[in-house]
Structure 1
């Protein structure tokens, strides 16, 4: 039998009570924890299963579409039918561009591979309100436009407004296009009886609004005829999607069969890719556009500019571009195209008169060149910074410089690091090493500048300290007396009364109650952090830098704001240094090589991205960047001139309010009959501060030898020679000037009383 549990006594009831048995830990929390872990593990699997099921359905639909398309192509019964060709479309397109024919291969040729980055201007034309738009004369394409929109459903203004969406079509003046050209190889073309003159083309068209810095992206799918350089394609938003089976309906009739067979081969290839991904498990949900910016459907027609290079030389050039071997080829001709982007259901047309192209290898080479030059510039700025830090290591040097130029430069380098990493990601890893080099050096610059700014702030912290007034002296506290003892007062001490027995009375004096002190209230975490940041200069510096860095990271999302923010930072790099030098009456301590070299290095990046039209980020030119450059150079020139002509050279004399402490005030000379001719002992070396005998002789000639009756000439002579003799601190401690200079090179406090000292 197990032993009975011990009895306990209930204190309140006084009755015996059984002790509670030890409870086992509840299994509910463990069950909930295990369920949560399993749910987290299975959650992704559930998403993968849902995505897999979705792609299985899409694969089945694609398979059915391919079967119907193949049946239509072979003339069998099919659910697919090609839309009727719009006879009014091509005449309207030909009003804005010309679709060239084939060239003599010995006289000229077209670029055969259009994989490149294209950009240029666009012109907007509203086909629905042609007569209401003020024109100098009736456009020549008016009749073709009227015939084109006459068959479109554009009478319902509400439906038309819904299709147009919120995009400002008339404000779009720039476009950037990225093509990827896919040509069928010779062996596959022979096996599948496909034409080698047709290449599939897909890419993206971005229409930009310079006023709002927004972009609208259209997906593009079509074909490129190599022999005549013409392009026929559909352009839709990502939400609408493109059915590639309808592409043959865009091309000329004699090209329809060859184009249809190319499309069929492409559909089979895409189906095989999806099957392979399903089998390997690498299926991801495709992001969908929740709110499409427009419902307009576009058709794109383009024509490559013909070159005077023979066909065999052009083929040799493109082969060397794709697979470089080092051979000498013909100089690459200019890559251009003209095109038209037209939407019938919205009644709008964009004319693309002159679009410049840049091959992928050319862009990657440009990025590599930029990365090398940027790394050299950043390395040069880092070298100048380290030299300046080594020269300003002393307390006297640190007291001259302002911390804010280094804080501003650290934020600029933080944005530079983010921007270069972004370029490395966008370059698809081919030039990431070249671009990551300046990014790494910018990160090192940020660290050194931030550390130096914190060091300067720590050295200059005593300047901001407000001296607290002395506490009033309180009278001494009374001595503690022992607690009063009970006193026995007998009736013998009192006036006797008749027939009264002696009575003893005990009188006790009760001390006043002592006040109880409440425990101190602990401050909250927010209050503690605020007090720490407010009182600690180092914490205040790091908090300020962290705040600005968070703002910088958030601003990088929008491109237009960082450009203005960067310009403001560059404009204010040296302003605080100029202000500090004028306010303190001391020169900056920054060398001319650091000022000029750093200013030019910073301007290199600013002028490249905002002044060069062919920069790697394709940022448009900003004319105001040249004003920023002139302002920065002017600031550097002012700091250099302050070193030669004084910190307040640009201020009127009445506005010069620099309060500079004079370490060499006139002091009374010692008695000439005294055995020691000294002003006192130096508080550092403890040696006597002797008076210059030559000065003594001249003082005796002009005064009484005790500093009385000094003339202005004698006072000036005293001021000129005093620096070689003594320095009197604000705390009235006397030093040799040389001793104090050596001390202030280490610390800027008095070696005797530890009070902060102004610059010497």
Structure 2
């Protein structure tokens, strides 16, 4: 493509990107009008919130009492005392006409009480839970827990066809209400992740008398949770939602619920509690907090138009286009840490001592003072989730229904411990990236000449730079909103920036050196048959020369023995400005090609490095978006995609192996760089693929990680084989282009054909020295031989022209097999033979060729390594 056309395309692309940015930043008038409509919708919903709050203030414990099923086993018949069909509330979802499956409410309460009583075992035959006493529990349950759940269906199956949302919520226009609702769990088991965020303010209240047991302990606080349910056996989908509720720290009870247009769960939450004491405390707390939230929403309705206490997480379109989904009510019981986890050796510790120790740990976590509190135990809780509209239960898997060795309900880390783990991992990751930078700088010091940079694969270096750029982009995006992890994220961003910029500069130098090679390859592909005809014409004189010399196997390859173009046959007139070179070039251009061949087309412009960087940026952004969106995919599909990304990423040495084979290059990178980069780049993957309690709670895939490690190790082994045995070992000759072998097998058969290097033949150097097995003073002729490898080769000696040290070269006897000796392959690595038949030490010539691709003796051009 001509440079002008490329420049025009780049200008057009830049203009399109500029228009797209303007369209994203500045909304049009239609969006502005829509924003006003959404504000009106938000104001109407806030009015309904005020009405629901009034209902909450006017109700008492027992006002919501749906009928329960009879004991005769008929699920459709309910106890109807005195013709009463139960007590209902004037809240959406709590009314009889809404049709929710509230008949299992008592079952939900009883299941929660069972979890609480089992979590707090009796002490000396006395059940402490529910008495309002101080228990050895975490007062602040903020943290992250995860575990397995099992589904228990309700007595009546409910679906979208069981409800008429047009009657229950006539003012709403639902989308997708005639299909299966979202969050409808169809599988029998799966994973559950809960992120709890508790309010630091604890509200005290006057506790009811003992006859209203169970009691909550006289304190309560606000809490919200992000619940993620993975339906791995049914729909294979992940459902994520936000729940709001209250936490009673003395008893360790947490009650949460979703809230939407068809279910005002947060306003009816006190009626779902297990007793009157819990109802009184939660009603008092919600009266204070809900009113404050509604007032704040009304003041900011033009800026914040999302519904308060919405269960949707970052779904802007839900306000204008609501869709129905299953609602959830969650009862969780915080379990006390075991004495072993707390470091208590007393077999029967006192409850007050354990509670004081837990309080000291929480105080140290919230305001660190350096107190010796020991290791902080994990956070554990059991839970049951009830869906009143879809009619099913989700129970965490653990004791007493399952043995402790099989499952332990929900377990995880407290918020402060989790943040500390994230900070530590970010700093370790930053250290890993800094070590990558150190290895990259050492490799730059090694590959600083055009000859050495031409050996490095551009694709291998590109893979490293792309991943480092993605790391920098992720860290830069997170650092803008990071709170507690700001400094570690900043360190990681700086380390990734260094690795990206230094790697990018190295990549630019590689592209500059390899650009002519890429352009020539593209030109050959475009010429097609024309290039093939020219190659045939050029090789005909060389083939005739081979026929005249007879033994073609002893000759040097075509790049050295091929005829070179001479000066033009016409006269050269020296111009007045004495520029003889320009005159020769003009004369050569005026000479027509032999055979009437047409002049070749002009070379195409090489791809600029800036355009390559632009494509890499788009590629990294696309991969990042796919990785983020994969969190909503099916678990098997997401696992396969992430494993594929890791496999492609850790295949970074495959392009280098290919380039070594095509160029006949033994080694392009230092072994410290290859091994170090392999270990450092697989370490972050090892954390998530192997560690069970990683901070993202990703499911470990140790088998896939072992396969990836084996694949990476195989690449390193192939690179080592190319360095020791040869870059084209085991590769058919027809698959690779012709290249000069600097480590040929030297045979005595090639004496007459001139196959041995200059200096190893007695006629070339009468004073040739050679080493023998016996005493050299016992031989009087100039050429002496020493057997090596059972008589298969002899060793001849010559001075290296670079270091002036002795060089011993094995020469295979006539008629012997060159591959008979295994040590011969390693002996060939000690010397290098140039196309001009000069021989040197391998280390000497390689050091020389880093700076010049010319023979140190005759200044003949040398093929690159």
* TM-score class normalised by the smaller sequence: 0.5 to 0.7
* 1:43-122 equivalent positions in 2, closer than 5 A: 53-72=40-59, 80=90, 88-91=104-107, 94=110, 97-100=114-117, 102-103=128-129, 108-122=135-149
Aligned length: 613
Q: Is the 8 A contact 1:114 1:180 kept in 2?
A: yes
| CA distance in 2: counterparts of 1:717 and 1:74, whole angstroms | 106
Secondary structure, counterpart of 2:245 in structure 1? strand
| CA distance in 1: counterparts of 2:27 and 2:388, whole angstroms | 49
User: Is residue 759 of structure 1 aligned with residue 864 of structure 2?
Assistant: yes
For residue 627 of structure 1, report the CA deviation from its aligned partner.
1.2
For residue 537 of structure 1, report the CA deviation from its aligned partner.
7.0
Tell me which residue corresponds to 2:219: 197
Q: Is the 8 A contact 2:434 2:495 kept in 1?
A: yes
For residue 199 of structure 1, report the CA deviation from its aligned partner.
2.5
Tell me which residue corresponds to 2:817: none
Q: Is the 8 A contact 2:217 2:248 kept in 1?
A: no
Tell me which residue corresponds to 1:639: 719
For residue 44 of structure 1, report the CA deviation from its aligned partner.
8.6
Q: Is the 8 A contact 1:410 1:446 kept in 2?
A: yes
Name whichever of 735-744 and 619-628 sits farther off.
735-744
User: Is residue 229 of structure 1 aligned with residue 252 of structure 2?
Assistant: yes
Cα offsets for 1:175-229 (capped at 9, x unmatched): 1112222365458989xxx984233322221112458874212331222233322
Secondary structure, counterpart of 2:270 in structure 1? helix
Which of 324, 329, 335 is the equivalent residue of 1:305?
335
* 1:508-519 equivalent positions in 2, closer than 5 A: none
* 1:656-675 equivalent positions in 2, closer than 5 A: 659-660=739-740
Name whichever of 241-250 and 355-364 sits farther off.
241-250
Would the alpha carbon gap of residues 541 and 46 (structure 1) be closer, same or farther in structure 2, given more than 3 Å must change? closer
Would the alpha carbon gap of residues 594 and 734 (structure 1) be closer, same or farther in structure 2, given more than 3 Å must change? closer
Q: Is the 8 A contact 2:184 2:325 kept in 1?
A: no
For residue 716 of structure 1, report the CA deviation from its aligned partner.
9.2
| CA distance in 1: counterparts of 2:844 and 2:104, whole angstroms | 96
Secondary structure, counterpart of 1:169 in structure 2? coil
For residue 539 of structure 1, report the CA deviation from its aligned partner.
6.5
Secondary structure, counterpart of 1:224 in structure 2? strand
Tell me which residue corresponds to 1:622: 701
For residue 95 of structure 1, report the CA deviation from its aligned partner.
5.3
For residue 318 of structure 1, report the CA deviation from its aligned partner.
2.0
Which of 431, 447, 451 is the equivalent residue of 1:392?
447
Cα offsets for 1:399-433 (capped at 9, x unmatched): 3332221111122222333444455467x421022
Would the alpha carbon gap of residues 531 and 58 (structure 1) be closer, same or farther in structure 2, given more than 3 Å must change? farther
Tell me which residue corresponds to 2:493: 439
Tell me which residue corresponds to 1:498: none
Cα offsets for 1:354-407 (capped at 9, x unmatched): 011322111110111001111111111110111011111123322333222111
Secondary structure, counterpart of 1:246 in structure 2? helix
Would the alpha carbon gap of residues 153 and 379 (structure 1) be closer, same or farther in structure 2, given more than 3 Å must change? closer
Cα offsets for 1:701-726 (capped at 9, x unmatched): 999xxxxxxxxx99996999799999
Name whichever of 264-273 and 742-751 sits farther off.
742-751
Would the alpha carbon gap of residues 253 and 86 (structure 1) be closer, same or farther in structure 2, given more than 3 Å must change? farther
Tell me which residue corresponds to 1:18: none
Q: What is the TM-score normalised by the length of structure 2?
A: 0.59
Would the alpha carbon gap of residues 461 and 744 (structure 1) be closer, same or farther in structure 2, given more than 3 Å must change? farther
For residue 585 of structure 1, report the CA deviation from its aligned partner.
2.9
Which of 426, 429, 435 is the equivalent residue of 2:483?
429
| CA distance in 2: counterparts of 1:637 and 1:475, whole angstroms | 54
* Consecutive unaligned residues in structure 2, runs of 5 or more: 1-22, 64-87, 118-126, 166-176, 208-215, 308-315, 340-350, 398-408, 525-530, 539-564, 571-601, 631-637, 772-780, 784-791, 805-830
Secondary structure, counterpart of 1:390 in structure 2? helix
Secondary structure, counterpart of 2:470 in structure 1? helix
For residue 575 of structure 1, report the CA deviation from its aligned partner.
1.7
Tell me which residue corresponds to 1:15: none
Q: Is the 8 A contact 1:119 1:357 kept in 2?
A: yes
Would the alpha carbon gap of residues 213 and 197 (structure 1) be closer, same or farther in structure 2, given more than 3 Å must change? same
Q: Is the 8 A contact 2:198 2:221 kept in 1?
A: yes
For residue 579 of structure 1, report the CA deviation from its aligned partner.
2.7
Cα offsets for 1:560-604 (capped at 9, x unmatched): 376234312234111222233234332113222111111110110
| CA distance in 1: counterparts of 2:238 and 2:206, whole angstroms | 39
* 1:584-733 equivalent positions in 2, closer than 5 A: 584-623=663-702, 624-649=704-729, 659-660=739-740, 692=765, 694-695=767-768
Tell me which residue corresponds to 2:438: 383
Q: Is the 8 A contact 1:462 1:756 kept in 2?
A: no
Which of 259, 269, 272 is the equivalent residue of 1:250?
272
Which of 121, 125, 129 is the equivalent residue of 2:152?
125
| CA distance in 1: counterparts of 2:142 and 2:854, whole angstroms | 68
Name whichever of 401-410 and 462-471 sits farther off.
462-471
Cα offsets for 1:633-676 (capped at 9, x unmatched): 23223323433333345668999986325699999999xxxxxx
Tell me which residue corresponds to 1:408: 463
Q: Is the 8 A contact 2:254 2:333 kept in 1?
A: yes
For residue 170 of structure 1, report the CA deviation from its aligned partner.
0.8
Bigger radius of gyration, 1 or 2? 1
Q: Is the 8 A contact 2:196 2:223 kept in 1?
A: yes
Secondary structure, counterpart of 1:199 in structure 2? strand
Would the alpha carbon gap of residues 282 and 431 (structure 1) be closer, same or farther in structure 2, given more than 3 Å must change? same
Secondary structure, counterpart of 1:414 in structure 2? helix
Q: What is the TM-score normalised by the length of structure 1?
A: 0.66
Tell me which residue corresponds to 1:556: 627
Which of 348, 360, 376 is the equivalent residue of 1:316?
360
Q: Is the 8 A contact 1:302 1:337 kept in 2?
A: yes
Name whichever of 245-254 and 715-724 sits farther off.
715-724
Name whichever of 210-219 and 450-459 sits farther off.
210-219
Secondary structure, counterpart of 2:454 in structure 1? helix
Would the alpha carbon gap of residues 541 and 334 (structure 1) be closer, same or farther in structure 2, given more than 3 Å must change? closer
Secondary structure, counterpart of 1:646 in structure 2? coil
For residue 250 of structure 1, report the CA deviation from its aligned partner.
0.5
Q: Is the 8 A contact 1:583 1:657 kept in 2?
A: yes
Secondary structure, counterpart of 1:170 in structure 2? coil
Q: Is the 8 A contact 2:334 2:381 kept in 1?
A: yes
Tell me which residue corresponds to 2:292: 269
Q: Is the 8 A contact 1:51 1:284 kept in 2?
A: yes
Would the alpha carbon gap of residues 540 and 315 (structure 1) be closer, same or farther in structure 2, given more than 3 Å must change? closer
| CA distance in 1: counterparts of 2:50 and 2:418, whole angstroms | 39
User: Is residue 348 of structure 1 aligned with residue 453 of structure 2?
Assistant: no
Q: Is the 8 A contact 1:400 1:586 kept in 2?
A: yes
Name whichever of 48-57 and 578-587 sits farther off.
48-57
Secondary structure, counterpart of 2:115 in structure 1? coil
Which of 506, 509, 525 is the equivalent residue of 1:452?
506
Would the alpha carbon gap of residues 405 and 720 (structure 1) be closer, same or farther in structure 2, given more than 3 Å must change? farther
* 1:423-502 equivalent positions in 2, closer than 5 A: 424=479, 428-463=482-517, 465=520, 469=534
Secondary structure, counterpart of 2:333 in structure 1? strand
Cα offsets for 1:65-103 (capped at 9, x unmatched): 434443446999x99577699564333564585232644
Name whichever of 364-373 and 661-670 sits farther off.
661-670
Q: Is the 8 A contact 1:234 1:242 kept in 2?
A: no
For residue 434 of structure 1, report the CA deviation from its aligned partner.
0.2
For residue 173 of structure 1, report the CA deviation from its aligned partner.
0.9
Tell me which residue corresponds to 2:187: 170
Q: Is the 8 A contact 1:98 1:303 kept in 2?
A: yes
